Amino acid sequence: MTSKLYCFGESGNSYKVALMLELCGLPWEQVFVDFFKGEARSEDFARINPMKEVPVLIHDGKRYAQSGVMLDVLSKETGKFGPKNEDERLDILRWTLWDNHKLSSQIGTLRFQINFIPEKYRSEEVIKFLKGRSQAALNILESHLYGRDWIATDAPTTADFSCCSYLYYPEEFGFTRSDYPNIDGWLTRIAALPGWKHPYDLMERAMK
């Protein structure tokens, strides 16, 4: 059965799931959500996801919201990119929650502020605050990856796909790969996995 992913190209959270689907070799199709025209906030979309967020995954007849849940579901079903024991499961969960709270949330909001809202509505104070928060999270990830190939185990897991997503985007948000050699090497290893694709090669963009 072909899965459906409600998403759009600029969404790093959507990319986490689209990438997982590709790396697992699962058939899927995009249902484009025109985010910047307010589709995700519409009452029609609320019937798909009352949280009014993307991504939404329809898989094996079930509907899932929140990218971390989707990554876990796909890993358990395919037996790929998951833990080998309980300690690994908890560490994958730890880094996924950290990413959702400390990394993707900060970088995603910062990138949105700098690139995707009209300049007259941007707040320099908010941008400065988010840059500080993003920098702190990137420094933690850079330190953690010293001497390690992967975030949570000795092999790639869903924790890696959760944390990496926004870092492949080309838009300016205060991140230069060469400034973070451990992150840079890690991103290169992920991109070398069979089936990897750039987010804009996987999903239709809402802003062209």
User: What CATH number is attached to the domain comprising 162?
Assistant: 1.20.1050.10
Structural domain boundaries, residue 21: 3-81+196-202
Is 93 inside a domain boundary? yes
Residue 159 burial (C-beta neighbours within 10 Å; 0-12, 13-18, 19+): buried
Residues of the chain with pLDDT under 70: none
> For residue range 59-99, what is the model confidence (pLDDT) as tens digits?
999 999 999 999 999 999 999 999 999 999 999 999 999 99
Is 207 inside a domain boundary? no
Q: How does the average pLDDT of the chain come out, rounded? A: 97
| pLDDT for the residue 1 | 82
The answer to whether residues 9 and 206 touch, using CB atoms and an 8 Å cutoff, is yes
> CA–CA separation, 151 vs 98, rounded Å?
12
Question: Are 68 and 144 members of one domain?
Answer: no
Question: Are 16 and 76 members of one domain?
Answer: yes
Is the dihedral angle over the CA atoms 33, 38, 44, 49 positive or is it negative? positive
Is 174 inside a domain boundary? yes
E strand or H helix at 5, and its extent?
strand 3-7
Question: Are 101 and 186 members of one domain?
Answer: yes
Whether the predicted model's global pTM rises above the 0.85 cut: yes
